[in-house]
Amino acid sequence: METRKFIYFASDFHLGAGTLAESLLREKRILRWLDQEVKPNASELYLLGDIFECWFEYKKVVPRGFTRLLGKLAEMADLGIQVTMFTGNHDVWMFGYLEAELGVSLNKSEIIKEWGGKKFLLGHGDGLGPGDYGYKRMKKVFTHPLAQWAYSRLHPNLGLSLAQYFSSLSRKHNSEPQHFMGTKKEWLVQYCEEKIKEENIDYFIFGHRHLPINLTLSNKKSRYINLGDWLTYFSYARWDGTEMYYHFFENNKGEVYENI
């Protein structure tokens, strides 16, 4: 077997969004991507948050569904592919079940990795940069251990139903424009620009924005890549050890905003 050498990045599957039939079609599409593209070629896979429309792990209960994806991730981990997941604003309440059950790694904040002599900053992207102060205050509540403990006192039927309802409401009401708003208005661009003043980062890779973006920053060498989503674009990125490439799966009309 050829040595697996590529590193893949994707985010914002939002499994559970829409009807059961719509979510299932999306899940099966993701599995085709994993089987056809990722599993034969990947040494590592990074899923950068909002994989689920909502997620709350009780001590003995987890949300039903998504068994095809969970089984596939476990299979890939068993094959020696390093699978790393990040919490997003829709699935912030992951507490260890997926790590124990699937063998994946879990990150709740941004991390820095180095490959091929390049430095990468990876994260979901929620709450970074200027603005969005209401969400930043809410995130502090959502991630507070006391708030998580109190919510876990709710019966799972009620707790998960409420989580699903508010996740759907949040996505509909707070979705950002599906066009690039300019570097002064894109909060993640502003975050990247401030970060490169402090540290040499070659690639910033985020989700959350739901828009495929491949942007060279003001220093002319660092790049901000937003992974888009699997609700509309079915987009992902791949590092081959030397270069980063943007792709769309089963979507030949996909377009990425870029300035290079």
Q: pLDDT band for position 183 (50/70/90)?
A: confident
- pTM higher than 0.85, yes or no? yes
pLDDT tens, position by position, 47-80: 999 999 988 888 888 888 899 999 999 999 999 9
> Among 13-27, 138-152, 161-175, 184-198, which stretch is predicted with the lowest mean pLDDT?
161-175
Higher per-residue pLDDT: 260 or 81? 81
Q: How confident is the model at residue 165 (pLDDT cuts 50, 70, 90)?
A: confident
Assess whether pLDDT exceeds 50 at residue 1.
Answer: no
Whether the predicted pLDDT of 32 surpasses 90: yes
Q: Using pLDDT thresholds of 50, 70 and 90, give the confidence band for residue 178.
A: confident
What CATH number has the domain spanning 6-258?
Answer: 3.60.21.10
Evaluate whether 213 touches 258 at the Cβ level (below 8 Å): yes
DSSP collapsed to 3 states, the chain: CCCCCEEEEECCCCECCCCHHHHHHHHHHHHHHHHHHHHHHEEEEEECCCCECCCECCCCCCCCCCHHHHHHHHHHHHCCCEEEEECCCCCCECCCHHHHHHCCEEECCCEEEEECCEEEEEECCCCCCCCCHHHHHHHHHHCCHHHHHHHHCCCHHHHHHHHHHHHHHHHHHHCCCCCCCCCCCCHHHHHHHHHCCCCCCCEEEECCCCCEEEEECCCCCCEEEEECCCCCCCEEEEECCCCEEEEECCCCCCCCEECC
The answer to whether residue 173 scores a pLDDT higher than 70 is no
Q: Mean pLDDT over residues 220-234, rounded?
A: 96
pLDDT at 177: 64
- Average confidence (pLDDT) over 171-183: 72
Q: Does residue 174 have a pLDDT over 60?
A: no
Q: How does residue 240 score in pLDDT terms, banded at 50, 70 and 90?
A: very high
pLDDT tens digits for 114-157?
999 999 999 999 888 887 777 777 777 777 888 888 888 888 88
- pLDDT > 90 fraction of the chain, expressed in percent and rounded: 63
64, 52 Cβ separation under 8 angstroms: no
pLDDT category at 170 given cuts 50, 70, 90 is low
The model's confidence at residue 167, banded by pLDDT at 50, 70 and 90, is confident
Question: What's the pLDDT at 100?
Answer: 93
Is the pLDDT confidence value at 245 over 50? yes
